[in-house]
Structure 1
Amino acid sequence: MKSIINITFFLITSIAFSQVQKGVVIDSLGTPIENAYLINNTTQTHSHTDEFGNFFIEKTKENDQLLVSALGFKKQTITVTAGELKITLQSDAFKLDEVVVSSNLSAMNIISKIDLATAPVKSSQEILRKVPGLFIGQHAGGGKAEQIFLRGFDIDHGTDIAISVDGMPVNMVSHAHGQGYADLHFVIPETIDKIDFGKGSYYANKGDFATAGYVAFKTKEDIEKSFVSAEVGLFNTLRTVGAFDLLDKKFKDKAYIATEYMLTDGPFDSPQNFKRINILGKYTTLLSNNGKVSVLASRFTSKWDASGQIPQRLIDNGAISRFGAVDNTEGGSTSRTNVNVLLIKPLTEQTSIKANTFYSNYQFELYSNFTFFLEDPINGDQIRQKEYRDIYGLNAELSSKLTKGLLQFGLGFRADQTKDTELSHTKNRKETLNTTKLGDIDQTNMFSYLNTEFDFGKFKINPSLRLDYFKFDYQDKLATNYRTQSENKAKISPKLNLIYAHSNTFQVFIKSGYGFHSNDTRVVVEQSGKKILPTSFGADFGIIYKPFSKLLINSALWMLDLQQEFVYVGDAGVVEPSGKTARRGIDLGMRYQLSDYLFFDADANYTHGRSTEDPKGQNYIPLAPDFTTTAGISLKNYKNWSGGLQYRYLKSRPANEDNSIVAKGYMVTDANINYKWNAIAFGISAENIFNTKWNETQFATESQLQNETQSVEEIHFTPGTPFFLKGKITYNF
């Protein structure tokens, strides 16, 4: 009888073991490797590791062979043994043939991982350019947040793209300069570890502003080596940066501090006098159950002068150069202090929690003059936009792996409190002539979402639902009597995504979902709560395909419709209505590894976008690009050499509704070359190597000069950087 029981027990445990094998994949420092790919050579079952490095692979028994691979690591074949497996991978050169097209909703993130590995970010401006199809433009002396273009949107400074860093929101709601203002200059490029992005409003954990898409940056938990670096370039440009490992590669605890200091005058006739200081510290400790806690603290401050946007007529008549100014007293200052605490913790083998809480203090002051002497022919039209803001927030997500799927429940909040948000008419930055807007804003967004995934072999269904609640309060300090103007609104956003993964080289997806973009609190209370959370609806149909091992292709047909909305124009302090819009487009991208050291990338994006409520010929969407393309070739670690050559092209586009004023397109080419000698690396980078005359940002603006008898509406622009050469030296230790 005892023998029968022992045999039965052996058979049961053998069957159970043959069904599922669990384990963890880590690097040589003990850090979990996410998205490592494992395949059983006998049964052909496969699995991916989660963010803890954990995996569960079916139909696997003792002595089976597992092939384990991950980007940037050497492949290994592991013999399965009894108990949980612990697999350590060693670093290796990047190889595109190790890229596996997963069935994940965020499979496109492999693109940014490839791009970061083959062509690392070299400046804060390049951070957003790592998102395929995303263009940026600077138009206020280098310190102002960039203007963003994506999927046929002139997103301004962030109205239709949700941006975050380590779970902290970057977009500013009800900002003094414009809704969704997203200033990423507090990020030190060398600390970026991962760029998670998605286009469209298909993701349950992304809410406000995630209409055209989202970008989520993750900073490094540790640095490979401490380093100091110095860069010197034309236009009195100087940048120093350093990152220092504080705990000498301890497996459990990791900590580093990074700092950046930058000066430049820019190419302008009136120097920018730009100065930026950044400091960031991050500490991470691993918990006993393979969880971790990270604490990040950072401080950023910048100050600059600007020449502003200049009218084309002054260039045509030779009154000023392309780098001249009408009002060179523009400029500003800004600062941001951040504290973020992140917890990632497994609760059981199938369940985990991820949460972060954050606080930011933000200060902003900007002087601009867009119309010169149109409104005030004596003193000029200079304005000041100013605010002092505190941001508090929490994001929490509980994830549970099902037998054939995934269940996630998330909740959180964000509270913004601004004091003396201001729009004033000023002169020479010193004299306040009159105040147009002045008040305190309190805005709260509470949210929850349910995200589910159901696996049916090669087919995955991803339905989800998001609920947002907003509370808007405004105290107008220019009003005679004290009164809090208040509105509130709830929003439900359903989403449905379908993914068919034919193999680990081919995926077809259909994504769909509703999203929204909140309006400025001052608009909300002025409109008595009407159209305060305009709806978007979008859909994508696309593929990710590896026709052979060293080529990755991605393509998507997409559509996006926006409901009518009211927009607060911070530059003028007025409310402007805009009608419904419809956009249809196609994205196409390619990544190709020509050799072990040489990589090629290309992206092209076409959009047809129109206002749906205006007559034909009067229905263009101002400044919305209809065609963009980028491409480049990169050399990585060839006999200590690396470098690259990249171009970006933006087609001419309408600057107003009837296309009578056109914003000129441009093509700009950049190059860099680097050499590593022992612990020292030398580099030279050149922007705009063909010295193209291009306009970085352009607007159709009505303005009047002091000597003019009537106003003129035409293109006003900020010139793009001419040929710019910069040298760099880095010491690693």
Structure 2
Amino acid sequence: MSVGLRSGISALAMTAALLGGSAVAQEALPDIDIAAATPAAAAARAKIEQKQPVRIEAASETVFSGQAVNAVPFARPGEALEIVPGLSVTQHSGEGKANQYFLRGFQLDHGTDFSLTLDGMPINMRTHGHGQGYADANFLIPELLSSVVGRKGPYYADKGDFSSAGAVDMQYIDKLDSGLFRATGGSFAYGRLLGIKSYDVHGGSLLTAIESSVYDGPWTRPDETRKINGVMRWSHGTQEDGVSITGMAYANRWYSTDQIPERAVYSGQLPLWGNVDRTDGGDASRFSLSARWSQVDGAHSSRVEAYAIRSTLDLYNNFTYFLSNPDLGDQFRQFDRRTVLGVNAQHAYKYELAGLPVESRIGLQSRYDNIRLGLQDTYHRTPYDTVSNNQVAEGNVSLWTDTTVHFAPWLRATGGVRFDYFAASVGSLQDALSAPKDEFGNPILTGPANSGSSSGTMGSPKFGLVLGPFERTEFYLNFGEGYHSTDARGTVTHLAPSDGSAASPIPLLVKQRGAEVGAKTSRFVDGLETSVALWWLDNDSENQFEGDSGSTIYGRPSRRYGIEIINHYAPASWLRAEGSVSLSHARYRGYDSETAANYAALVASGAAGYGALIGNAPGNYLDNAPNIIAMGQVEVGEALGPFAALRYRYLGERPLTEDGQIKSPATGTLNLRVGYRFDNGYSIQADAFNITNSRSDMITYGYGSLLPTDKLYGLCKAGLVSSNVCAVGVMDRHFKPMEPPAVRVTISGPLPF
């Protein structure tokens, strides 16, 4: 067996051990190299996964190898995460911006309530220039993944901020003996080069990887994406008993075709692949240095991870076109410059208590963000007003512990708790010269009133119960409380940054609680494993930072519940199938009196005659919350010779406004892969995307905007219509269309030097 694959499985074993599970039986693993397995060695991978006795703590929890991730076609790195059942990943603003995530009735924006980590480093960025929890996964190199662990719900003591809806923990491999070279070219000027190689250095292994890619897309204004990405890791020993030091570097720049108004496309003003502002786009970078130390000593196991991250982001977007500024347009710049320092440490101990096997864990998590961020109004990327400009320092210290007691071979219970302390300081750097001006030319200087400090604490109990196996069936019961942090600027805001109106500060931490009951079974059909989970999640506030206006909305509480069904079927060595469906019901709780008052004012102003009324009535629908997410895929092929994979993803219809009057269409996409693996390690494959030429949307929003061709535009500019109607604009569906069919061809092989 190759050391490359062994290090990947070792990472999975360490994940299992620290989750309280047992290690992988490595001696039973087949002899296969991870580089060769990547194009879809379904049979060998199935054997590997059957040998992994990773202990599962909830019916919805899933563990996948890196080979499983790479066995099916995906168009962008973030879509590799869709291997987690019930998760949908899409994009609305260029190939360098963070993805949009959907999970369990959540439109998670760019990462709120959805935690992503890589090698113990957080990907989510709190108090971010574009949105709370911003999680940019574009720096991922999927071929380096050794394991992906997907967990949902606030039931895990070791998961904190942003994790209540779900958490995905990814691990890179430590070593790849044979190396890997991959070259891809395809439709719409797509190109990618990847090289991975390991070297023996100072008694350890030095893993190096470099990736470069370009992409224009089908848009009338090409994206001109230019990305470069690199990883270097020195490691000694294994994931569960060894050390490593890792450096990563990533840079990307792009133009973006954002969502466009449906009315402009249907009237012929805009082509389907067109845009309103050709200068939208951005640039991003991420540099990190991390280290890991782990040790197993009899019944004790320890792990310490430390990291330092430097990230930057500049975004130029224009979503409302000419609503706020009829002359220059509504483009704005969001910038974020931050340094993140953090540490994760945990210790596990196995012992007996009153004759019962017990496993206890205790952990410490701490993180500090030093952030410079702000919002500016721009014209063709040239700033002319600074709405906000802040220096933020935010940190947390979190302690957690859990204990699992094995009362019988068929019964175990886990109880845990975590305590979180957060503190933040916000200082304004806004000046009168660059601040926005009111109608009389006076500066709207809100920054000094929005400076200050805040803190918050949260205690979160956790509980889990597992019964079985009975007839190859296990039953699970889970309950837990969690939280998400809010944008620190919202906790000290007294004046709205955009217009200087009165605002109320909000709490730094928001409580969430949920439960799940389910089962996993493999007793009905040979080769078929089925999981069913019924879940519920309450949120004390649907609050979010609106980066487009610089304001934080502290929304009403909400409730979500649903059912998730996951199937894995491997009837033969050459055939493997996956299928999942997640049904969700998501609603606000309580009555929205503010929206009702605004709606009454719009009605009195005759807004219906200008297209500004529909979608603004009070209601309880959660915006863009999916009611169904489904996935199905089939893989065929042996370790050598021909192989193929077919993958279908379905994202159901969603309400786009809280009254449900504007809805998105359902989206279904089908991707295909065919290829051939040679016995010398080389392979060729072709990936085809959207092969049915679906004309649905990648993503859809419902809100008001204004174009110069709208009747309301001239009336508002002349002051002939009520200001509250002009502030709303023309309500419409704004969408980014599904990209047309595309093909990418990849040639890969070992690096012998």
Moved more, 461-470 or 641-650: 641-650
What residue number does 1:379 align with? 328
The C-alpha deviation readout for 1:427-464, integer Å capped at 9, x for no partner, is 001x2121101110110011000111111121111100
Structure 2 counterpart of 1:558, from 535, 538, 545: 535
* Residue pair 1:367, 1:382 contacting (<8 A) in 2 also: yes
Structure 2: runs of 5 or more not aligned: 32-42, 431-445, 495-503, 593-616, 713-728
Q: For 2:485, what is the secondary structure of its paired residue? A: coil
What's the CA shift for 1:189? 1.1
> What letter matches 2:456 in structure 1?
K
Q: Which residue of 1 aligns with 2:152?
A: 199
**Partner residue in 1 for 2:83:** 130
Q: Where do 1:109-120 residues align within 5 Å?
A: 110-113=62-65, 116=68, 119=71
Which has the larger displacement, 272-281 or 564-573?
564-573
Q: Tell me the SS of whatever aligns to 2:650.
A: strand
Helix, strand or coil at the partner of 1:653: coil
Paired residue for 1:414?
367
The offset of 1:344, in angstroms, is: 0.6
Q: Indicate if the aligned counterparts of 2:542 and 2:558 stay in contact, CA closer than 8 A.
A: no
Tell me by how many angstroms 1:519 deviates.
0.3
Q: Distance in 2 between matches of 1:524 and 1:671?
A: 48
Q: Which residue of 2 aligns with 1:647?
A: 648
Aligned to 2:301: 352
* Match in the other structure for 2:747: 729
2:391 maps to 1:389: no
* TM-aligned CA deviation for residue 26 of structure 1: 11
Residues 560, 584 of structure 2: 8 Å contact kept? yes
Pairwise CA distance, 1:113: 3.5
Residues 348-376 of structure 1 show CA distances to partners (whole Å, capped at 9, x for unaligned) of 31112101000000000000001100010
Report if aligned partners of 1:585, 1:605 keep a CA contact under 8 Å in 2.
yes
| Aligned twin of 1:695 | 697
Within 5 A, what are the aligned runs for 1:467-616?
A: 467-478=419-430, 485-503=452-470, 505-526=472-493, 530-547=506-523, 548-614=525-591
TM-align CA RMSD: 2.9
Q: Which residue of 1 aligns with 2:268?
A: 318
Distance 1:165 1:512, change over 3 A: same
Secondary structure, in 3 states, of the residue corresponding to 1:594? strand
Structure 1 612/687 Cα, relative in aligned 2: closer, same or farther at 3 Å? same
Q: 2:118 pairs with 162, 165, 175, which one?
A: 165
CA distance in structure 2 between the partners assigned to 1:114 and 1:597 by the alignment: 18
Who is 1:462 aligned against? 414
Structure 1 residue 380: Cα displacement: 0.3
C-alpha contact (below 8 Å) 2:219/2:274 kept by paired residues: yes
Alpha-carbon distance between aligned partners in 2 of 1:290 and 1:562, rounded to the nearest angstrom:
36
AA aligned opposite 1:713 = M
Higher helix share: 2
Which range is displaced more, 301-310 or 118-127? 118-127
CA contact (8 A) 1:188 1:259 kept: no
Whichever residue aligns with residue 413 of structure 2, its letter is: I
- Report the Cα offset of residue 70 of structure 1: 7.8
Could you tell me how far 1:622 is from its partner in structure 2? 0.8
Decide whether aligned partners of structure 1 residues 589 and 186 sit closer, same or farther in structure 2, where only a CA change above 3 A counts: same
Q: Among 128, 131, 134, which residue is 1:181 paired with?
A: 134
- Report the AA paired with residue 316 of structure 1: Y
Report the 3-state secondary structure (helix = DSSP H, G, I; strand = E; otherwise coil) of the residue aligned with 2:469. Answer: strand
**TM-superposition CA deviations, 1:448-493 (whole Å, max 9, x none):** 0011111112111110000000001000112676995101111101
Contact residue 101 and residue 107 of structure 1 kept, 8 A: no
Aligned residue among 699, 711, 715 for 2:733: 715
SS at match of 2:64: helix
How many Å apart are 1:505 and its aligned residue? Answer: 2.7
Counterparts of 1:515 and 1:372 in 2: how far apart (Å)? 38
Which structure dedicates a bigger proportion of its chain to strand?
Answer: 1
CA deviations 1:20-69 (Å, max 9, x no partner) are xxxxx9979875955999xxxxxxxxxx984799979xxxxxxxxxx967
Determine whether 1:144 maps to 2:97: yes
Deviation string for 1:612-661 (max 9, x for gaps)?
A: 11389811111000011110100242542222011011111100011110
Instruction: Name whichever of 109-118 and 698-707 sits farther off.
Output: 109-118
Question: Are the aligned partners of 1:507 and 1:543 in contact in 2 as well (CA < 8 Å)?
Answer: yes
Indicate yes or no: 2:707 matched with 1:669.
no
Alignment partner of 1:428 out of 371, 375, 380 = 380
How far off is 1:721 after superposition?
1.2
Q: Comparing 498-507 with 710-719, which one deviates more in the overlay? A: 498-507
Distance 1:488 1:541, change over 3 A: same
Cα distance, 1:130 vs. partner? 1.3
Provide the rounded CA distance (Å) in 2 between the counterparts of 1:636 and 1:620: 45
Q: Does 1:271 align with 2:183?
A: no
Residues 296-307 of structure 1 correspond to what in structure 2 (within 5 A)?
296-307=246-257
Q: Percent sequence identity over matched residues?
A: 28
Query: Per-residue deviation at 1:533?
Result: 1.1
Counterpart CA distance in 2 for 1:603 and 1:330 is 36
Q: Distance in 2 between matches of 1:580 and 1:456?
A: 38
> Would you say the 8 A contact 2:700–2:735 is kept in 1?
yes
Q: CA deviation at 1:308?
A: 1.2
Aligned-pair CA distance for 1:224? 4.5
Verify the 8 A CA contact 2:262 2:733 in the aligned structure 1: yes
Residue 507 of structure 1: CA displacement?
A: 1.2
C-alpha distance in structure 1 between counterparts of 2:270 and 2:212, whole Å = 32
What secondary structure does 1:145 align onto? coil
- 1:535-588 superposed Cα distances (whole Å, 9 cap, x missing partner): 111001011111244111111000001102542211111222310111110000
CA–CA distance in structure 2, aligned partners of residues 221 and 35 of structure 1: 8
Q: Secondary structure at the match of 2:491?
A: helix
Q: Does the 8 A contact of 2:101 with 2:108 survive in 1?
A: yes
Q: Tell me: CA distance 1:144–1:688, structure 2 relative to 1, closer, same or farther (3 Å).
A: same
CA contact (8 A) 2:482 2:512 kept: yes
- The correspondence for 1:282, drawn from 206, 224, 233, is 233
Deviations, residues 484-521 of structure 1 (Å, cap 9, x unaligned): 51011111011111111225832110011000011000
Q: 1: CA distance between counterparts of 2:555 and 2:342?
A: 31
- The CA deviation at 1:412 is 2.3
The SS at the match of 1:662 is: coil
1:190 correspondence with 2:143:
yes
* In structure 2, C-alpha distance between the alignment counterparts of 1:290 and 1:310, rounded to whole Å: 49
TM-superposed CA distance for 1:126, in Å, is: 2.4
Distance in 2 of aligned mates of 1:703 and 1:28? 53
Shift of 1:121: 6.8
Give distance in 1, aligned partners of 2:618 and 2:535: 23
Counterparts in 2 of 1:651 and 1:565: CA distance versus 1, 3 Å: closer
Partner of 2:441: none
Higher mean alpha-carbon deviation, 99-108 vs 355-364, is at 99-108
- Report the TM-score, using the length of structure 1 for normalisation: 0.86
Distance 1:493 1:599 in 2: 39
Give the match for residue 622 of structure 1: 623
Aligned pairs (5 A) from 1:207-222: 207-222=160-175
Q: Deviations over 1:669-690 (max 9, x none)?
A: 0000121122321010000001
Preserved CA contact (<8 Å) 1:162 1:213: yes
Counterpart of 1:82 in structure 2 is none
Question: Under a length normalisation based on structure 2, what TM-score does the superposition of the two structures give?
Answer: 0.84
Distance in 2, Cα, partners of 1:160 & 1:190: 26
Q: Deviations over 1:371-401 (max 9, x none)?
A: 1000100000000000110000000001111
- Is the Cα contact below 8 Å between 1:516 and 1:535 reproduced in 2? yes
Letter in structure 2 aligned against 1:196 = V
Return the offset for 1:594: 2.9
Structure 1 residue matching 2:191: 3-state secondary structure = strand
Describe the SS at the equivalent of 1:502.
coil
Bigger CA drift: 443-452 or 525-534? 525-534
The 3-state SS of whatever aligns with 1:142 is: coil
* Structure 1 position 114, deviation (Å): 9.0
CA distance in 1, matches of 2:730, 2:256: 22
Matched residue, 2:688: 686
Q: Contact (CA 8 Å) 1:455, 1:461: kept in 2 or not? A: yes
1:652–1:669 CA distance, 2 compared to 1 (3 A): same
Partner of 2:404: 453
In the superposition, relative to structure 1, how do residues 364 and 232 fare at CA in structure 2: closer, same or farther (>3 Å)?
Answer: same
Q: Map 1:322-333 to 2 at 5 A.
A: 322-333=272-283
Partner letter of residue 531 of structure 1? P
